[in-house]
Amino acid sequence: MRALLTRLYGTRGWTAIGVCIVLLCVAMPLANLVATPGSAFHVSDYFVTLAGKIMCYAMVAVALDLVWGYAGILSLGHGLFFALGGYAMGMYLMRSIGTDGHYQTELPDFMVFLDWKQLPWQWWNTDQFWWAMILVVAVPGLLAYAFGYFAFRSRIKGVYFSIITQALTYAAMLLFFRNETGFGGNNGFTDFKRIVGFAIARPETRMSLSILTGLALIATLLIARTIVTSRFGRVLTAIRDAESRVMFCGYDTSRYKLFVWTLSATLCGIAGALYVPQVGIINPSEMSPANSIEIAIWVAVGGRGTLIGAVLGAGLVNGAKSVFTVLMPEYWLYVLGLLFIVVTLYLPNGIVGWITEKIGWRGGDSRMASKVGIAGVRPQQTPPVAGETAR
């Protein structure tokens, strides 16, 4: 056990995790629930919700970094898995409203409005929290497994794989926009009242959800770190750098990629389930291909192949988005595009990679960032000519 902990992070890494847990579980609840609104130490309910939302995004970024940074699989469809987890949670939250809705019936309000007489088959047992949690994990995981099985067996890779994942999420978005699918159409699910018996609007509930999200983010980091520092992770990086050579050595690379791809989708589903009760809405726009591209930007900005860079990128980009969409909403997309151009041209290894190269910090996963750029291509050395010394 001690060897595993040492392999994952050094003393500074575990200290940083401990500090984050204390801030999350002790300092933030005290600042929000105990400190008075006029106090300098008070943390508003808005900040608690914003922090929870950004931590959900950070979980998705880590999940993408696991497949893109370490396996070389660029997905432009991770927003789909995130949204599916959110819809699974949203179905439970809609059923939890009960007769407190506008029409005061057991059916969700949008079904009454559309003159539905009974719940469709996919809503079976969704009033049970345990069943909703199974759907949160199973639906994104099974879809990713089925898609990945055929894609990886067919040796689809590179830009072709990225385009297909983008097409998949776009097709799903169009499907969920239709009212007859039973998922609320373009309005989706909203107006949630309670979760496992607790009123969602209460500050204590929102704080609990934020704490749970933070702990889930730390768990996601530890799971991903365990994988990438293991023998399995070394095979993944070898597949990323030279898949044909790995296959020549006798490894079935499709199995490795399928496992990490399915795991990544499952983590996105969990993030989506934590996201929905905190923001109070889920609709097909979460499946937009633009959202999946933005997830890739988070990872690229922070530094792919680093894990911690994905968290940093998600926090910085979404923090900036929260500011710009309030002050100058019409300029946010221009800022986001400019940010990606600057990172591509001047910070190809992301922020963590820049810190590693310029400041000389060597911590945790940052070693990977100095080796892999955004394009995922390692520089090739020219073999020495006979009689010359290799440089």
Express each pLDDT in 138-183 by its tens digit.
Answer: 999 999 999 999 999 999 999 999 999 999 999 999 999 999 999 9
Q: Which two tokens stand for residue 38?
A: 């006029």
What pLDDT, on a 0 to 100 scale, did the predictor assign at position 385?
Answer: 37
Give the residue from 50, 33, 30, 20 showing the smallest Cα distance to 278.
50
Q: Is residue 254 situated within a structural domain? A: yes
Give CA 288 to chain center in angstroms: 15
Q: C-alpha distances in angstroms, 130 versus 17, 126, 312? A: 29, 9, 32
Task: Identify whether residues 254 and 364 lie together within a single domain.
Answer: no
Q: Looking at the 3D structure of the chain, how many domains does it have?
A: 2
What pLDDT, on a 0 to 100 scale, did the predictor assign at position 98?
Answer: 87
For residues 20-37, one letter each, b for 16 or more C-beta atoms within 10 angstroms of the residue's C-beta and e for the rest, the string is eeeebeeebbebbeeeee
Banded model confidence at residue 360, pLDDT cuts 50, 70, 90:
low
For residues 365-378, one letter each, b for 16 or more C-beta atoms within 10 angstroms of the residue's C-beta and e for the rest, the string is bbebbbebbbebee
Q: Which of 263, 287, 311 is the last residue of a domain?
A: 287
Q: Is residue 302 situated within a structural domain? A: yes
For residues 169-198, one letter each, b for 16 or more C-beta atoms within 10 angstroms of the residue's C-beta and e for the rest, the string is bbebbeebbeeeebbbbeebbbebebbeee
Task: Identify whether residues 57 and 194 lie together within a single domain.
Answer: yes
Task: Identify whether residues 270 and 356 lie together within a single domain.
Answer: no
Task: Identify whether residues 146 and 182 lie together within a single domain.
Answer: yes
Domain that holds residue 366: 289-375
Q: Is residue 17 situated within a structural domain? A: no
Q: Which two tokens stand for residue 297?
A: 């930007």
The CA-CA-CA angle for residues 254, 260, 265, to 5°, reads 120
What pLDDT, on a 0 to 100 scale, did the predictor assign at position 371?
Answer: 45
What pLDDT, on a 0 to 100 scale, did the predictor assign at position 8?
Answer: 81
Task: Identify whether residues 210 and 107 lie together within a single domain.
Answer: yes
pLDDT at 319 over 70: yes
Q: Are 274 and 52 in contact (CB under 8 A)?
A: yes
Q: Is residue 390 situated within a structural domain? A: no
Q: What is the pTM of this model?
A: 0.90
Q: Which of 237, 254, 287 is the last residue of a domain?
A: 287
